[in-house]
């Protein structure tokens, strides 16, 4: 999809740059694959704000996406490519040979009428899903599982992809967009191709209101608050907020590493923070 510029008929239109969605399906989603979505405004079950910056926005329906791709050896046809308000990528409606319908993440270069299939080993063409251990080394893929049968967790956002760079003792080595290299079990599923809508990052929303339509509220800077409200607050005149930037709860931020030991750390071959060797 290309980017779309607008004539500067108003201040909001002057800098507006959006993804051209003229090629997407213009109707409503499949009712059996959707569910009503209730807004939280960032509040939990006690009414306390636990996620700041959320509120308002247009009413949305949640679309059920098949992240597992475990319907093996049944060919499907792409009925249409749709917009999904719940994610940055586009989604594709698939009609299988047994007339079952499902939504999947639409990869780049997938068009209406294309045939796709999932299985233990398939052709390496966009939209086909197979076990990572059966993919050729160098394959670009997305929607990668971290546990067999759990469903894809890695590389699901617009334009994201993972490159398979090697195999080793029942594992495959993959390189992520961040530069991190890690092991993934060879019996995990992955889908060939990169995720659709790579121009999502090049959009310019043009005005604050368009951001509010998406359910995102503005956040006040810490240095503009009082000391009771934020560690950066207070002070005579304008201040920089101190030497060590922190969150409202005192946790280091803006580059400081706060990741604790995770169960999957042993799967990381090369950290995304490691300096590139020339």
The mean pLDDT of the chain is 94
pLDDT digits (tens, 9 = 90+) for 32-46: 999 999 999 999 999
Spatial separation of the C-alpha atoms in residues 247 and 270, rounded to whole Å:
28
**31 Cβ contact list (under 8 Å, min separation 6):** none
Q: Does residue 3 surpass a pLDDT of 80?
A: yes
**228 Cβ contact list (under 8 Å, min separation 6):** none
Q: Does residue 277 surpass a pLDDT of 70?
A: no
CATH 2.30.31.20 fits domain 19-41+55-200:
no
Average pLDDT score over residue span 164-181: 94
Q: Does residue 259 surpass a pLDDT of 90?
A: no
The maximal CA–CA distance of the chain, rounded, in angstroms, is 71
- Global pTM reads 0.91
Phi first, then psi, for residue 257 (nearest 5°) are -85, 125
pLDDT band for position 162 (cuts 50, 70, 90):
very high
Tokens of 268: 């990381």
Query: Where in the chain are the domains?
Result: 19-41+55-200
Tokens of 70: 């475990």
Q: Does residue 226 surpass a pLDDT of 90?
A: yes
């Amino acid at each position: 999809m290309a980017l779309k510029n607008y004539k500067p008929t108003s201040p909001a239109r002057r800098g507006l740059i959006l993804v051209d969605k003229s090629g997407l399906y213009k109707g409503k989603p499949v009712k059996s694959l959707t569910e009503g979505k209730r807004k939280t405004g960032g509040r939990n079950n006690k009414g306390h704000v636990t996620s700041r910056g959320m509120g308002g926005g247009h009413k949305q329906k949640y679309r059920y996406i098949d992240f597992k791709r475990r319907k093996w050896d049944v060919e499907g046809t792409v009925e249409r490519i749709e917009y999904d308000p719940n994610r940055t990528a586009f989604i594709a409606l698939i009609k299988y040979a047994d007339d079952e319908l499902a939504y999947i993440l639409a990869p780049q270069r997938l068009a209406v009428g294309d045939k796709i299939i999932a299985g233990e080993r398939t052709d390496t063409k966009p939209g086909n899903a197979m076990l990572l251990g059966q993919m050729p080394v160098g394959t670009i893929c997305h929607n990668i599982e971290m546990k067999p049968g759990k469903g894809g967790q890695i590389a699901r956002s617009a334009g994201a992809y993972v490159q398979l760079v090697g195999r080793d003792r029942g594992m495959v080595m993959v390189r992520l967009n961040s530069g991190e290299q890690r092991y993934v079990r060879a019996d995990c599923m992955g889908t060939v191709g990169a995720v659709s809508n790579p121009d999502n990052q090049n959009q310019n929303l043009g005005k604050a209101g368009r951001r509010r339509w998406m359910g995102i509220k503005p956040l006040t800077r810490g240095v503009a608050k009082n000391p009771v409200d934020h560690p950066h607050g207070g002070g005579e005149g304008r201040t920089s907020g101190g030497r060590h930037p922190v969150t409202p709860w005192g946790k280091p931020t803006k580059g400081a590493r706060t990741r604790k030991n995770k169960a999957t750390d042993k799967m990381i071959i090369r950290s995304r923070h490691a300096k590139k060797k020339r």
